């Protein structure tokens, strides 16, 4: 009896002890709250119901959170944040498990489905965030059948060009992402024409420093601008395909076909195109094909791959007038160039990325092979200081393979205070070319303008080149204090090392009238150069909800080495550059921000600028490099300011950019006598200081009528100074560019359009005494209207008129009118036929001007501008509702 009581008592004590031990197990749930762009959402509310207890915390400024003292094995989790849909789940612990890391909890934006046309007057249209300007699609007009391209045209400060390029604050958006992730090929121009506006809740323009910088927080250098589209909840999937065929009176035939399957991160696509244009102005026949695939291949590993191939034949004619200034006067050249090119290329791109909390991994492989065969005939009639006629015919073959490999790995410390990353990249490229050049030069008496002699020369030139480079880098940042603090301070250290090597061979032979071939040793060489660059940087960074800045100091030691086969002289230059680095951003409010950035970088001279052997492929301008050239160092700085109306959508954006270069490589154009006692140009290279550029731009957007209408005002002004030498005398080319425009845009249910006027002025003043400036001035007026008569029928017209003065060749101030009629049919308007007329008055001239060194170049291409095109298109799409 006593024994039984003792046993029962022991069992009872053990049971109580077990329950007590179970109650003493305290569990922890942690994670990070982020939006679809992988940016943390600070201030998010996190609630956990554990038994009879309710525990709450607020996410830190990076979106991170940790909740301890959880007593039950299963708990209810709720995450909320203003502007986002709530996230709820049940978190279950395994036996004896004390911590669950939920990783990234992605909150989707909260939005309502749009009707055919939705205009939300009280919605905040534009919001400013760190490195991001966000547009709320509900605040803009979206019609049935509108695509992202139509939506972007409504945003203040945004310009969508005819070729699909998107410009924001003077900079092109270089990459497309959906919900913060790469989308198919990430080609902006391609997919803004294919994705419907109605599936997106927000559009973001992001200043992106790269994935590695986003992980470590070390943001140095000039960012690139990318476009990120945020889908509405559950609408990140769909299939879309298009087949179209076109025929034009310019004897052009086009066939295109693409198909895309999109299921979140799983993406597959394929497509091809064929273009055949053959007329008196040009021949253009090309075929292209592409496939891509990306998907999750592991627990947290993602694969992307793209393959492209293409080949084509191109034949066109180009005309140019070149005015070259020098100490003796001006050389005017009237040039005509006819080219027939056949090319082919293959390119493969693959990448692996890992998405894991506290870790970062990315790798990529890019390979390309291109082949070109071309035939060229040209004439150059020179007057002024030199009176010569040059006639050249040539054939060439070029083979250029290249491979690039990149890999980055990042890890966070256990205490969450430190983050480190290492990177490696390598590239290898090569080329092999052969040219057969036949040159005929006619010489004239300067006084009588009579032909006095001629020269005939047949050269065979063979080139081989190889380029190899290896880059390695290490980045480390360490938080000072508690990583969960609202204000975070950190120190940074970066080191990078790169070695690039170039091998170049040039062999020149001459074929005489008896077809005997002789090797010309003085015009041939084998050259090898190596450039070693190191970048050592230390810095300090301050982050808060409103103010963020980073300051640092960079040391850049460089070594440039070079050698020539058969020569004893070698290049061995050591340079040391140092510069501060800084970036600053201040979020004044949700609709107002200012940012500043400064960085510096070293650049080695090109091979053709270093080699001392004459390059005689252009006998009127022989190029001789300078092996004593030094490495140049560039300074770049920019300031940006953004101001948006909270509900009105009014916008003001201002940008200022400046740059200066030390030891920049400049040309020295010398007039010398040739073997026939006539003059010719010879180009050499020297290092100069004094080159700079300053540019400022602004845009103002004034929407009214519930944003159905918007007045846009914008402009820019730029100042440049370029140092050049002519006949060993230093000269400056001071440039001024000014542009101003005003326009109005309207978006109605059955009518949309725009109209605008712009003025541009540019001048280039050389300090050469006998140079007469040629300033270019232009007024431009344009308008376009789209009449949506029915859902299945619309018509459009666009027109532009230019008034230009300053071209030496004269401009006919073209008045361009284009018109289009569009009819869709079948269920959901899947098929369509359009008839478009281009340049009805036949006044297009394709004329433009460029300035390079001591030359002002006016270029015009031969092209048929007036023609009619009919297009049949079948568009199949099914996006998640």
Measure Cα distances from 228 to 225, 288, 349 in Å: 10, 27, 21
Q: What three-state secondary structure class fits 695?
A: strand
CATH of the domain at 334: 2.40.170
- Using DSSP, state whether 114 is helix, strand or coil: coil
Domain that holds residue 90: 24-106
pLDDT of residue 130: 80
Check residue 122 and give its pLDDT: 54
pLDDT of residue 718: 94
Least confident of 59-63, 359-363, 642-646: 59-63
- Beta strand 729-747 with 751-766 is antiparallel
One domain, residues 377 and 499: yes
- What is residue 213's DSSP assignment? H
129 burial level (CB within 10 Å; 0-12, 13-18, 19+): middle
Per residue in 256-310, pLDDT tens?
999 999 998 899 999 999 998 877 767 889 999 999 999 988 888 899 999 999 9
Confidence of residue 680 (pLDDT cuts 50, 70, 90): confident
Instruction: Measure the CA–CA gap between 812 and 835, rounded to whole angstroms.
Output: 28
Which 8-state DSSP code applies to residue 300? S
> Is it the case that residue 873 has pLDDT exceeding 90?
yes
CATH code of the domain containing 81: 2.60.40.10
| Pair (139, 83) in one structural domain | no
Element (H, E) at 191: helix 188-191
Distance CA 653, CA 155 (A): 12
Q: Name the nearest CA neighbour of 427 among 395, 466, 459, 388.
A: 466
The closest alpha carbon to 657, from 716, 742, 588, 580, belongs to: 716
Residues 411 and 315 in one domain: yes
How many domains are there within the chain?
A: 3
**Residue 245: closest CA among 671, 832, 678:** 832
**Contact, 497 vs 472, CB < 8 A?**
yes
Instruction: Give percent of the chain above pLDDT 70.
Output: 93
Question: Both 303 and 213 in a single domain?
Answer: no
Mean pLDDT, residues 220-230 taken together: 88
For the record, the structure tokens of 445 come out as 């008496």
The verdict on residue 87 lying in a domain is: yes
Instruction: Say if 442 falls within a structural domain.
Output: yes
| Rounded distance between C-alpha atoms, residue 474 and residue 492, angstroms | 11
The CA distance from 196 to 260, in Å, is 14
Tell me the CA distances in angstroms from 803 to 102, 233, 441, 782, 849, one per residue in order.
64, 50, 39, 12, 15
Name which of 20-34, 68-82, 339-353 the model is least confident about: 20-34
Q: Does residue 188 sit in the same domain as residue 86?
A: no
In the prediction, which pLDDT does 770 show?
Answer: 62
Assign 357 to helix, strand or coil.
Answer: coil
pLDDT in tens, 420-451: 999 999 999 988 889 898 888 888 877 778 88
Within a domain: 654? yes
Q: How many CB atoms lie within 10 A of CB 93?
A: 18
> Does pLDDT of 565 surpass 80?
no
Measured CA distances, 349 to 182, 552, 706 (Å) = 13, 35, 45
Contact residues for 55 (Cβ-Cβ < 8 A; gap 6+): 47, 48, 49, 67, 69, 70
In a domain, 731, yes or no: no
Structure confidence at residue 20 (pLDDT): 40
83 and 141 belong to one structural domain = no
Is residue 217 pLDDT above 70, yes or no? yes
Give a yes or no: residue 678 inside a domain.
yes
Task: Compute the half-sphere exposure of residue 551: CA atoms within 13 Å on the CB side of its CA.
Answer: 1
Q: Specify the range with the lowest mean pLDDT, choosing from 2-6, 83-87, 514-518, 800-804.
A: 2-6
Same domain, 413 and 463: yes
Residues 327 and 411 in one domain: yes
Position 52 scores a pLDDT of 65
Instruction: Report yes or no on 38 lying in a domain.
Output: yes
Give yes or no: residues 659 and 522 share one domain.
Answer: yes
Residues 95 and 142 in one domain: no
- What pLDDT score does 16 carry? 41
Average pLDDT for residues 563-591, to the nearest whole number? 84
Q: How many CB atoms lie within 10 A of CB 558?
A: 21
Domain boundary among 188, 208, 235: 235
Q: SS3 sequence, 226-252?
A: EEEEEECCCCCEEEEEEEEEEEECCCE
Flag whether 824 is in a domain. Answer: no
CA-nearest of 225, 308, 313, 240 to 275 is 313
Residue 337: closest CA among 373, 377, 394: 377
Residue 188: enclosing H or E segment and its boundaries? helix 188-191
Indicate whether 98 and 212 sit together in one domain: no
Tell me if 446 is assigned to some domain.
yes
Candidates 236, 129, 127, 126; CA nearest to 177 is 236
Task: Single out the residue in 189, 205, 235 at which a domain terminates.
Answer: 235
Residues 353 and 230 in one domain: no
For residue 151, give the CATH number of its domain: 2.170.130.10
Domain final residue, candidates 718, 736, 758 = 718
376, 339 Cβ separation under 8 angstroms: yes
Q: For residue 298, what pLDDT is reported?
A: 80
514's tokens: 């008896």
What is the pLDDT averaged over residues 297-324? 88
Q: What is the mean pLDDT of residues 402-423?
A: 91
What mean pLDDT is reported for the chain?
Answer: 85
Share of the chain above pLDDT 90, in %: 35
Instruction: Tell me the per-residue pLDDT of 456-496, one tens digit each, with 9 for 90 and over.
Output: 888 899 989 899 999 999 999 999 988 777 788 999 999 99
């Amino acid at each position: 009896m006593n024994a039984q009581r003792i046993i029962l008592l022991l069992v009872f004590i053990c049971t109580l002890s077990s329950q007590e031990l179970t109650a003493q197990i305290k569990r922890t749930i942690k994670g990070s709250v982020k939006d679809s762009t992988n940016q943390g959402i600070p201030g998010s509310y996190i609630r956990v119901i554990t038994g009879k207890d309710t525990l709450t915390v607020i996410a830190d400024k990076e979106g991170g959170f940790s909740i301890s003292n959880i007593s039950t094995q299963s708990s209810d989790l709720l995450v909320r944040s203003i502007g986002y849909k709530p996230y709820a789940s049940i978190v279950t612990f395994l036996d004896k498990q004390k911590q669950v890391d939920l990783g990234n909890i992605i909150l989707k934006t909260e939005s309502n489905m749009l009707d055919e046309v939705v205009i939300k007057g009280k919605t905040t249209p534009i919001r400013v965030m760190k490195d991001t300007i966000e547009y709320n699609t509900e605040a803009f007009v979206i019609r049935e059948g509108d695509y992202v391209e139509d939506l972007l045209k409504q945003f203040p400060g945004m310009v969508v060009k005819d070729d699909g390029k998107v410009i924001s604050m003077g900079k092109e958006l270089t990459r497309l992402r959906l919900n913060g992730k790469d989308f198919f090929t990430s080609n902006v121009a391609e997919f803004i024409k294919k994705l419907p506006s109605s599936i997106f809740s927000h559009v973001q323009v992001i200043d992106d420093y790269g994935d590695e910088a986003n992980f470590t927080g070390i943001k140095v250098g000039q960012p690139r601008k990318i476009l990120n589209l945020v889908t509405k909840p559950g609408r990140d999937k769909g299939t879309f395909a298009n087949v179209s065929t076109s025929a034009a009176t310019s004897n052009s035939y086009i066939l295109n076909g693409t198909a895309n399957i999109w299921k979140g991160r799983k993406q597959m696509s394929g497509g091809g195109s064929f273009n055949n244009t053959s007329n008196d102005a040009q021949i253009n026949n090309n075929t292209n094909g592409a496939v891509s695939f990306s998907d999750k291949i592991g627990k947290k590993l993602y694969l992307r791959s793209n393959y492209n191939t293409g080949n084509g034949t191109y034949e066109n004619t180009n005309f140019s007038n070149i005015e070259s200034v020098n100490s003796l006067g001006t050389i005017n050249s009237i040039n005509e160039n006819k080219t027939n090119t056949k090319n082919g290329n293959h390119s493969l791109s693959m990448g692996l990325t890992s998405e894991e909390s506290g870790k970062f991994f990315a790798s990529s492989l890019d390979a390309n092979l291109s082949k070109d065969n071309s035939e060229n005939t040209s004439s150059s009639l020179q007057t002024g200081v030199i009176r010569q006629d040059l006639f050249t015919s040539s054939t060439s073959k070029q083979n250029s393979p290249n491979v690039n490999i990149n890999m980055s790995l990042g890890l966070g410390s256990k205490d969450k205070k430190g983050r480190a990353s290492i990177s490696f990249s390598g590239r290898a490229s090569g080329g092999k070319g052969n040219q057969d050049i036949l040159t005929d030069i006619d010489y004239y008496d300067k006084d009588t303008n009579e032909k006095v002699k001629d020269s005939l020369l047949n050269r065979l030139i063979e080139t081989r080149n190889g380029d190899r480079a290896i880059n390695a880098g290490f980045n480390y940042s360490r938080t000072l204090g508690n990583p969960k603090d609202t204000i975070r301070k950190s120190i940074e250290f970066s080191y990078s090392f790169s070695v690039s090597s170039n091998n170049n061979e040039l062999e020149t032979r001459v074929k005489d009238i008896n077809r005997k071939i002789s090797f010309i040793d003085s015009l041939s060489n084998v050259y090898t150069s190596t450039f070693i660059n190191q970048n050592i940087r230390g810095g300090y960074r301050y982050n808060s909800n409103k103010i963020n800045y980073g300051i640092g100091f960079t040391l850049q030691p460089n070594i440039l080495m070079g050698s020539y086969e058969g020569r004893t002289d070698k290049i061995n230059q050591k340079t040391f550059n140092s510069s501060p680095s800084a970036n600053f951003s201040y979020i004044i409010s949700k609709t107002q921000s200012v940012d500043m950035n400064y960085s510096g970088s070293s650049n080695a001279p090109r091979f053709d600028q270093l080699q001392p052997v004459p390059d005689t492929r252009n006998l009127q301008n022989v190029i001789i490099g300078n092996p004593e050239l030094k490495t140049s160092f560039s300074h770049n700085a920019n300031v940006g300011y953004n101001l948006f109306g909270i509900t009105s959508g009014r916008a003001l954006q201002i940008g200022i950019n400046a740059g200066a270069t030390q030891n920049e490589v400049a040309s020295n154009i010398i007039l010398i006598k040739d073997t026939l006692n006539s003059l010719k140009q010879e180009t050499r290279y020297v290092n100069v200081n004094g080159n700079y550029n300053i540019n400022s731009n602004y845009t103002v957007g004034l929407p009214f009528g519930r944003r159905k209408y918007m007045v846009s005002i914008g402009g820019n002004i730029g100042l440049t100074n370029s140092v050049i030498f002519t006949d060993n005398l230093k000269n400056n080319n001071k440039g001024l560019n000014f542009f101003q425009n005003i326009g109005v845009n309207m978006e109605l249910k059955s009518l949309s359009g725009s109209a605008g006027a712009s003025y541009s002025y540019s001048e280039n003043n050389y300090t050469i005494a006998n140079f007469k400036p040629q300033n270019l001035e232009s007024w431009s007026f344009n308008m376009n209207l789209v009449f949506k008569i029915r859902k299945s029928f619309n018509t459009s017209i666009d027109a532009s008129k230019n008034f230009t003065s300053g071209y030496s060749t004269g401009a006919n101030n073209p008045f361009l009118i284009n018109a289009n009629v569009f009819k869709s049919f079948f269920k959901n308007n899947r098929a369509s036929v359009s008839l478009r007329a281009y340049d009805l008055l036949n006044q297009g001239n394709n004329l433009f001007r460029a300035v390079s060194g001591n030359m002002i170049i006016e270029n015009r291409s031969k092209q048929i501008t007036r023609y009619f095109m009919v297009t049949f298109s079948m568009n199949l799409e099914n996006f998640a509702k």
